[in-house]
């Protein structure tokens, strides 16, 4: 990998993506913080990286649009001269039992979590430098099979499938492709609409009796994208404190 690594983190303005972007910046990686919603939140991440002595920029792009994903990679390359790490963390969560799910639920979750991941991976496969790192995101919900998560789980199964195949395709170039499957993590995405009792039930899934924090996941990403992670490839790592 290059002396100064360059990373694109999709969905990097909030939740796990934000924690990953901030951790990589602290590691000395030049970070491109992709966002689609709040430019203020994305700029906060970039500013924090700059204040810590790192390099960062925020770039708006809707990952469901292949042209915008290409433009995102173009901006990263123009600013930093290349791309070594891609973390495809952009995603949405909608829960509904299959019998009650709407067409809107299905379309939105599939569009962002599957199409968006595919668009990001396709561009990463073309643009990441040799010996680079690519990370996708699944979820421990895929192992738990909880009611209401049918559509979401289908998208995460797709992410795992993309990961395993792309690892084989890019392995000859020394590029590793792995998937992180977090357990319950305290983010706005997960906590929205949940009662204290719901949160306690989620916490009880892990032997430590707590919900994960975004930093827990960022630590795992930091390891996999480092030089120490060179022999980890094509894997799905459940970062869940033993919840499943």
Catalytic residues: 152
Pairing of strands 176-182, 236-239: parallel
The encoded tokens of residue 29 equal: 């990686």
Radius of gyration of the chain (CA): 17
Distances (CA, A) of 11 to 35, 38, 63, 78, 202: 5, 11, 9, 20, 24
Using CA atoms, how far apart are residues 115 and 64, in angstroms rounded to an integer? 6
Degrees to nearest 5, angle at CA 101 with 95 and 103: 115
Q: How far apart are CA 155 and CA 227, in angstroms?
A: 30
């Amino acid at each position: 990998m290059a002396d100064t690594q360059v990373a694109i983190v999709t969905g990097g303005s909030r939740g796990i993506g934000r924690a990953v972007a901030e951790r990589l910046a602290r590691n000395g990686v030049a970070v491109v913080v992709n966002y689609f919603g709040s430019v203020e939140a994305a700029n906060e991440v970039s500013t924090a990286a700059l204040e810590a002595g790192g390099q960062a920029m925020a770039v708006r792009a809707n990952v469901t649009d292949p042209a915008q994903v290409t433009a995102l990679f173009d901006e990263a390359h123009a600013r930093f001269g290349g791309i070594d790490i891609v973390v495809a963390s952009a995603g949405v969560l909608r829960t509904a039992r299959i019998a009650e799910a709407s067409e809107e639920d299905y379309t939105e979750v599939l569009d962002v979590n599957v199409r968006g991941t595919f668009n990001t991976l396709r561009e990463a496969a073309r643009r990441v430098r040799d010996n680079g790192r690519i990370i996708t995101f699944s979820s421990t919900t895929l192992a738990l099979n909880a009611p209401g998560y049918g559509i979401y789980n289908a998208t995460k199964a797709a992410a795992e499938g993309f990961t395993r195949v792309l690892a084989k395709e890019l392995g000859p170039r020394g590029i590793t492709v792995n998937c992180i499957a977090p357990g319950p993590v305290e983010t706005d995405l997960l906590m929205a609409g949940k009662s204290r009792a719901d949160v306690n039930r989620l916490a009880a899934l892990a032997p430590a009796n707590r919900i994960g924090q975004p930093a827990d996941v960022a630590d795992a990403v930091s390891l996999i994208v480092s030089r120490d992670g060179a022999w980890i490839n094509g894997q799905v790592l459940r970062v869940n404190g033993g919840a499943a």
